[in-house]
Structure 1
Amino acid sequence: MVQTYYEAINWNSIEDAIDKATWEKLTEQFWLDTRIPLSNDLDDWRGLNTAEKTVVNHVFGGLTLLDTLQSQDGIDQLRRDIRTPQELAVFNNIQFMESVHAKSYSSIFSTLCTSEEITEIFTWTNHNEYLQRKAEIVNSIYQTGTPLEKKVASVFLETFLFYSGFYTPLYYLGNNKLANVAEIIKLIIRDESVHGTYIGYKFQLGFNELDAAAQSQFKDWLYNLLYDLYDNEEKYTAALYDQVGWTEDVKTFLRYNANKALMNLGQDPLFPDTADDVNPIVMNGLSTGTANHDFFSQVGNGYLLGHVAAMKTSDYEIGRQK
């Protein structure tokens, strides 16, 4: 018998059922920005004042940068520490969809903005002090951290740091504006929900293998990182939202999602904020379902696949088999 040089992936021999369940969920949720009729939002866009347009543009510029970081560096680093071959396949899917997310914002820009405005957006994005600091903190962990530290950075990015930007389109959706722009954001949120819970689950597998002393030391590092990120995020939020008066509401939303990130990692919540404290208009928009679609063409404001619900945190309970 010839000695094995390279092994084929065998999806009929599954070591971790969560890998298969996540692959199926992500492929069911597949979407592309080109099928969302963004031009239908032009009338709403023209009705926004200058400050509101600036907030929307800069929010989406910041989200573009974070999705670029996640697609180009973050997932690539996570792929190096896999437990199973199926896990690598899941990360391949996640990495591609992060690229789809990053491109989606450019589709929004090209629909709503002039070329001069697009140039301004990316100039602001590439030089904003707090946005660049956020990227630096996360990417330094991706490049030099341990496998567990990288997973923490990824979950904090996807379940916490994105949400200072997600607040804006969800707020407008709740006020019956920019519905198609919000449709893209809801599709992105649906993806990130799965990404965050899956990576958090993989973190918990490794964390639970540590002894008590190592776990305690790691938790100190984890919460210190969250404090650093939240301190920077407060400043970033103020820089974005002071001009429209939303800063305190967005901070509440951030704290709520920071707790969700900690829960994905199997850790205790840090902040007192709950869903009841978040602006109810935004919480209603946070539902991961998408808008009604045309049953004949299966497009319109959403996909037929848009009715696939995001995986629940309980789906990732360690030891639970499907």
Structure 2
Amino acid sequence: MPRAMLEKAKTLEPLHPNKSTGLFGGKSSGILNWNDIAYPHWYKMYKRLVGNYWQADEVNMSSDVKQFPTLTEEERDAYLKIIGLLSTLDAPQTRTALLISLYATDPSVQSIMAVIAQQEAVHNESYSYVLSSVVSLDEQNKAFQLGRVDEVLLKRNENLTKQYNEFVEEPTVENILKTLVYTSLLEGMFFYSGFAFFYNLARQNKMVGTSTMISYINRDELEHGRFIGELFRATLAENPEYNTAEFTDWVYDHFRESVDLEIEWSNYVLAEVEGIDLEEMAGYIKYRANKMLRLMGLSEIYPQHVDNPMKWIRAYVDNFDGTKTDFFEQKSRQYTKTSDLNGFDDL
């Protein structure tokens, strides 16, 4: 495969057309007219992303502050480890979204990735926010160290880390496609054992503030995953030399390996948590992998897992295939804005 290095897109090139001639390596003036873009339906995606705007400190955490000490030791341990996991995914995702936008020669992609990067920054802030609500600074710092020291988590993140860093070192179309594959895995599968843990707590009326926050993050990630899938398909269509059996096998191999690592992680972090069936969780991870492959225009690799085995999760988050849940009508998880940090004035 050709490995020509891409140059960063120029900020303004007045001699080039406003409508880009290519997503990466194309020509564009840098001027964005949403009514004249190469992929017109992406404007609707942009609008949906912008419509999801929220801020971490608008979620009332006062009940979680009271409840956290009453959780079992296993629940508290999983809570901190999973926050540690999520923070190791969202922090680099902010930077990766911005890096992709630097090489995108379509200004609509630049704008959409800017919104995604901003939302990932909010997600990362929210993990600091929820931890500051329930544990000391020392414990917060320990949770955020997990991505650097926990052996299971390091193993789980190794391929993602390698691919993201290879894109930094070698900004080629091939590495953009591979980075989009891992971004799709991140947005659409890697988060989900963690999300399930918090939703399981909410099912028991525990830590409802945290689960509400997770719902907003989950809603954003669904939209991110949908766009990344489309960007992957469009980039592959514009660069058909990469649309080979060899590259498709690479995608499937990395999906399978990622699924195995995610199941290993979920068994490690959720083993002692009451209310989660680990076999069901493994099926859910495979179901999510199938879903992301479909969004990327590829075939499912787990034919026994085309249906969601954890249907109760639908009550907690928007989804593409079913009836959308209105967060604001869920009385047990109301979105309550607070004027003071973490709602401590309500204690």
Please classify the TM superposition score into its range, dividing by the shorter chain length: 0.7 to 0.9
| Superposition map of 1:22-171 within 5 A | 22-72=45-95, 74-145=96-167, 146=174, 147-171=176-200
**Residue type at the aligned position of 2:327:** A
**Residue type at the aligned position of 2:300:** P
Give the Cα separation in 2 of the matches to 1:290 and 1:189: 14
Per the normalisation by structure 2, the TM-score is 0.77
Per the normalisation by structure 1, the TM-score is 0.83
Q: How many corresponding residue pairs?
A: 295
Which stretch shifts more, 215-224 or 44-53?
Answer: 44-53
**Residues 260, 269 of structure 1: 8 Å contact kept:** yes
Unaligned ranges ≥5, structure 2: 1-12, 16-28, 168-173, 320-324, 338-347
| Superposition map of 1:1-322 within 5 A | 4=14, 7-72=30-95, 74-145=96-167, 146=174, 147-209=176-238, 211=240, 214-244=243-273, 246=276, 247-271=278-302, 272-278=304-310, 280-287=311-318, 289-292=325-328, 301=335
**Residues 196, 313 of structure 2: 8 Å contact kept:** yes
**Residue type at the aligned position of 2:219:** R
**Residues 75, 91 of structure 1: 8 Å contact kept:** yes
In the TM superposition, what whole-angstrom CA distance separates every residue of 1:36-81 from its partner, at most 9, and x where no partner exists?
0012223332331111111111111100110012112x21332244
**Residues 60, 336 of structure 2: 8 Å contact kept:** no
**Residue type at the aligned position of 2:220:** D
Give the Cα separation in 2 of the matches to 1:19 and 1:191: 16
**Residues 61, 133 of structure 2: 8 Å contact kept:** yes
Give the Cα separation in 2 of the matches to 1:63 and 1:184: 13
Paired residue secondary structure (2:41) = helix
- CA shift, 1:191, in A, is 0.6
In the TM superposition, what whole-angstrom CA distance separates every residue of 1:102-148 from its partner, at most 9, and x where no partner exists?
11011000001122321321233321123223333113222325221
Unaligned ranges ≥5, structure 1: 295-299, 304-322
In the TM superposition, what whole-angstrom CA distance separates every residue of 1:241-282 from its partner, at most 9, and x where no partner exists?
12326433322221111111111111111122244422x433
Q: Percent of counterpart pairs with the same letter?
A: 22
Give the Cα separation in 2 of the matches to 1:290 and 1:37: 18
Give the Cα separation in 2 of the matches to 1:113 and 1:284: 28
Give the Cα separation in 2 of the matches to 1:109 and 1:7: 41
Give the Cα separation in 2 of the matches to 1:212 and 1:13: 27
